[in-house]
């Protein structure tokens, strides 16, 4: 049942992420234009100056009357001022009112690594792209992926690092956790945590460690004890902070941790 729910949850998250990516097409005022971006430029009461163009690799485009203007690295508001200044200083338009609309974002990219279905580098195709959008482009979290995602990059010239618990994004108040993605960001999805069970259990092996999983739940996921197994013989082998292995005799409702090895001894009687 847990595996079925996990597969359903992953599929649902993928659908929600894809829908969110399509919905977020509005430009953010903080977004900085990059090479490959497509912009639509209009000048109020001057329709002949309207232009749809792609910014070149050098970060420039050729605007009527003004000539070559460098827009790479500017926000849409800054780009509007550059073009307006060119029209005004060249005495082409006395009081130009310029509007720059971002039609397609291609100049900025971010990477998704780790346990996703399609790891790689992706263009930030909308200006207000969020972490959920980026993960959707990468095909969503793989079945081996953990719920925790680490996003690293640069903000205001400083190294940025944030760990995001994916399920919180989809809560009513989770918008703040669905952080905006910027050029050069890297999202990393780790492999899910595991616990190992062996000895006198029906299905020894490794298990996905679910949140709050107890010793009893781990054993139940392994099919329970064999006829030769005994609750008194349950031991947990756990690596301590110093790297040494501790052998614990747990209660059935004790929580298991990532990397724990649960061993069930054979009953002597």
**In the chain, where are the structural domains located?**
2-28+106-191, 38-104, 194-266
- Topology at the third CATH level for domain 38-104: wza like fold (3.30.1950)
Residue 146 pLDDT > 60, yes or no?
A: yes
Question: 2-28+106-191 and 194-266: same fold?
Answer: yes
Residue 16 pLDDT > 60, yes or no?
A: no
CA angle, corner 258, sides to 254 and 259, nearest 5? Answer: 105
State in words which class domain 194-266 has: alpha beta
Contact status, residue 80 vs residue 98, Cβ threshold 8 Å? yes
Q: What is the pLDDT of residue 25?
A: 33
pLDDT bucket at 8, cuts 50 / 70 / 90: very low
The predicted-structure confidence for 196-231, as pLDDT tens digits, reads as follows 999 999 999 999 998 899 999 999 999 999 999 999
Q: What is the pLDDT of residue 1?
A: 47
Contact status, residue 207 vs residue 159, Cβ threshold 8 Å? no
Q: What is the pLDDT of residue 127?
A: 67
- Level-2 CATH architecture, domain 2-28+106-191: Roll (3.10)
pTM, full prediction: 0.60
d(CA 236, CA 249): 6
Task: List % helix, strand, coil for the chain (3-state, nearest 5).
Answer: 20, 35, 40
């Amino acid at each position: 049942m847990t595996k079925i729910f996990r597969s359903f949850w992953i599929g649902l998250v993928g659908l929600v992420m894809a829908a969110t990516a399509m919905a977020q097409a509005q430009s953010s005022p903080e977004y900085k234009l990059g090479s490959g971006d497509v912009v639509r430029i209009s000048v109020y009461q001057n329709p002949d100056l309207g232009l749809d163009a792609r910014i070149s690799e050098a970060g420039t485009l050729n605007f009527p009357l003004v000539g070559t203007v460098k827009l790479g690295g500017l926000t849409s508001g800054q780009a509007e001022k550059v073009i307006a200044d060119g029209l005004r200083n060249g005495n082409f338009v006395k009081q130009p009112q310029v509007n720059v609309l971002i039609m397609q974002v291609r100049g900025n990219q971010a990477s998704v690594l780790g346990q996703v279905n399609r790891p790689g580098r992706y263009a930030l195709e909308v200006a207000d792209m969020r972490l959920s959008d980026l993960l959707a482009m990468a095909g969503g979290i793989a079945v081996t992926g953990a719920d925790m995602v680490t996003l690293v990059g640069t903000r205001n010239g400083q190294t940025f690092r944030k760990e995001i618990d994916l399920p919180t994004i989809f809560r009513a108040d989770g918008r703040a956790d669905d952080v905006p993605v910027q050029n050069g960001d890297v999202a990393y999805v780790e492999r899910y945590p595991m616990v190992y069970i062996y000895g006198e259990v029906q299905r020894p092996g490794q298990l996905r460690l679910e949140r709050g999983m107890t010793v009893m739940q781990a054993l139940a996921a392994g099919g329970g004890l064999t006829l030769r197994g005994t609750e008194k013989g349950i031991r947990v082998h756990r690596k301590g902070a110093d790297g040494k292995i501790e052998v614990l005799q747990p209660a059935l409702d004790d929580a298991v941790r990532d990397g724990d090895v649960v061993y069930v001894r054979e009953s002597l009687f």
